[in-house]
Amino acid sequence: AQSVTQLDSHVSVSEGTPVLLRCNYSSSYSPSLFWYVQHPNKGLQLLLKYTSAATLVKGINGFEAEFKKSETSFHLTKPSAHMSDAAEYFCVVRSGQAGTALIFGKGTTLSVSS
Amino acid sequence: DAGVTQSPTHLIKTRGQQVTLRCSPKSGHDTVSWYQQALGQGPQFIFQYYEEEERQRGNFPDRFSGHQFPNYSSELNVNALLLGDSALYLCASSLAAGAGYGYTFGSGTRLTVV
């Protein structure tokens, strides 16, 4: 079965410093992986997705993630945090090669201080 | 171009009652999925509808049922409400031909069961 584990429930950074949100996945085959962001009282927004093309995936708002099969990881990074990045971030895997349900991690709360 | 629209945004129900939540998909999308997000957790897949049929179902009891209409809009029904059903219910639309990529999420319906 597919699963994802977000290694940190809460990450705090200062504005202008790098962001690292960690995610490990479990999959019996090459997975489809996503990062979503959820701002308070708003819907989930797709940041980026990995679908077995380039292992370094660039997303919106300066975020990127690198798929590392040897480490079963898909960590999300951003070189310089902005106050507007404060939100809940979810690492997500598609449920199967034929299935289309999304399996979400428990989420990481990103706090950004000035 | 309207995104996914969910109604109502909030509602309060009493234990044992029944509730119906509604979702209008993004223009051009033909598939609707429903997710339950408990407080402090990641969303969990309830079920997915395509061509007015339930195509895939998560680990939820039969008290949770749904429907998709010819215009692709969808309803989620929950019978015999329990306190534990209190959550944010998210609707996501997609294009079946897109093999599960390109989900668009609504802002959700916050259900409180008292």
Span A33-63, pLDDT tens digits: 999 999 987 789 999 999 877 889 999 999 9
The whole-number pLDDT of residue A40 equals 85
Whether pLDDT at B1 is above 60: no
Give percent of chain A above pLDDT 90. Answer: 76
Q: Which two tokens stand for residue B19?
A: 């509730």
The whole-number pLDDT of residue A101 equals 87
Which has the closest alpha carbon to B79: B68, B59, B64, B58? B64
- CA B3, A57, B45, A24 torsion-angle sign: negative
Span A2-22, pLDDT tens digits: 899 999 999 999 999 999 999
Q: Which residue has the tokens 């690492």?
A: A91
The whole-number pLDDT of residue A28 equals 79
**Residue A41, burial from CB neighbour count under 10 angstroms (0-12, 13-18, 19+):** exposed
CB contacts of A43 in chain B (<8 Å) are: 3-4, 90, 105-108
Q: Which residues of B touch A (CB under 8 A)?
A: 3-4, 31, 33, 35, 40-45, 48, 55-56, 58, 90, 92, 94, 99-101, 103, 105-108
CB contacts of A102 in chain B (<8 Å) are: 33, 35, 43, 45, 92, 100, 103
Please give the residue that has the higher pLDDT: either A99 or B16.
Answer: B16
Q: Which two tokens stand for residue B20?
A: 């119906």
The whole-number pLDDT of residue B47 equals 95
Give percent of chain B above pLDDT 70. Answer: 94
Cα angle at A109 between A66 and B31, to 5 degrees? Answer: 70
The residues that bridge with A77 in the sheet, in sequence order, are A20, A64
Q: Which of A90, A100, A103 has the most B C-beta neighbours within 10 Å, making it the best mutation to test the interface with B?
A: A100
With CB atoms and an 8 Å threshold, state whether A100 touches B94. yes
Span B47-81, pLDDT tens digits: 999 999 999 999 999 999 999 999 999 999 999 99
Averaged pLDDT, B10-30: 96
